[in-house]
Amino acid sequence: MTICLAEASGAMEALRRDAYVADMPLVCRSCAVRDDGICGAMTDGQLSDLCRHTTRRKIDHGSELLSQGERILSYANILKGVVKLTKRMSDGRQQIVGLQFAPNFIGRPFADESALTAEAATDIEICAVSKPALDNMMIHAPDLGHRLHRQALVELDEARDWMLTLGRKTAREKVASFLHLIATHSTRDGRGTLRFELPLSRQDIGDFLGLTIETVSRQITKLKRENVIRIENSRNVTIHDLHRLADVAGVDC
- What average pLDDT does the structure give for the chain? 88
- Per-residue pLDDT band for 181 (boundaries 50, 70, 90) equals very high
d(C-alpha 172, C-alpha 176), whole Å? 6
What residues does each domain of the chain span?
2-164, 169-249
Task: Give one DSSP letter per residue of 76-123, joined into a string.
Answer: EEEEESEEEEEEE-TTS-EEEEEEEETTPEES-TT-SB-SSEEEESS-
Q: Which CATH architecture has domain 2-164?
A: Sandwich (2.60)
pLDDT of residue 140: 83
- Inform me whether the pLDDT recorded for 4 exceeds 50: no
Q: Which CATH number applies to 169-249? A: 1.10.10.10
1-15, 51-65, 164-178: segment of lowest average pLDDT: 1-15
pLDDT of residue 192: 75
pTM for this predicted structure: 0.84
> What is the mean predicted confidence (pLDDT) over 111-140?
93
- Per-residue pLDDT band for 2 (boundaries 50, 70, 90) equals very low
d(C-alpha 195, C-alpha 2), whole Å? 48
240 and 195 Cβ atoms separated by less than 8 Å: no
Q: What proportion of the chain, given as a percentage, has pLDDT over 90?
A: 66
Q: How far apart are the first and last CA of the chain?
A: 52
79 and 31 Cβ atoms separated by less than 8 Å: yes
pLDDT of residue 102: 94
